[in-house]
Amino acid sequence: MSFVERYQWLLPALFALGIAVGVWLGNRLRRFWLRRQLARRWRHARRGEEQARGWLERNGFTILDEQVSQQSYLIVNGEESPFSVRADYVVERNGVRAIVEVKTGAVASPSSRGTRRQILEYAQVYGVADVYLFDADAMRLHHIRVPGKAEAPALERRNAYWFAAAFAAGMAVSALAYWLT
């Protein structure tokens, strides 16, 4: 009996072992690559924050605090659900306190959905109307004003004026019709 005939199970076993080792090795390489990419992104983001700090100071902002966390909560089914947010910088310029969020890449745009939501969250939690978005790649600062509830947006005010004008015109027509009859 030949070696191949005697150990015919060996070839499928080696094949299965090769697949298992290949899957394990592929997974290890994938995890290594992902960690490397994440580390590169963190270094890029940290460099962006450092650049933003210098840019802000050179352009008249006083940095009051950095990487400052703020606690808040939502009411979920009648119970408080706490959470915290962390802004890159709390700044002041011309007596106005504001938050600066530093971003790099595609999310550095005010039109980015996640960034927009983060800006609204910061305005609410930190109690500021002004939030700045610093695009570290383009070295550009976007000033974003978040109107408060007391500040009716211009569109709502215009609608209120039209409603008042229509109401007054209706009253005038009614009075004229009453007077003519």
Give the pair of three-digit tokens for residue 38. Answer: 């994440």
Domain extent at residue 43: 38-156
Residue 21 lies in a domain: no
pLDDT tens, 125-179?
A: 998 989 999 998 889 999 999 887 545 455 555 667 777 777 777 777 777 777 7
Residue 146 lies in a domain: yes
The one-letter code for the residue type at 114 is G
pLDDT tens, 16-66?
A: 889 999 999 999 999 999 998 888 888 877 888 888 899 999 999 999 999
Give the pTM. Answer: 0.63
Residue 140 lies in a domain: yes
DSSP secondary structure code for residue 105 in this structure: G
Q: In this structure, what CATH number is given to the domain that contains residue 125? A: 3.90.320.10
Residue 137 lies in a domain: yes
Residue 55 lies in a domain: yes
Q: Classify residue 91 as exposed, middle or buried by CB count within 10 Å of its CB (0-12, 13-18, 19+).
A: buried
Give the pair of three-digit tokens for residue 141. Answer: 């600062």
pLDDT tens, 10-23?
A: 878 888 889 999 99
How many independent structural domains does the chain possess? 1
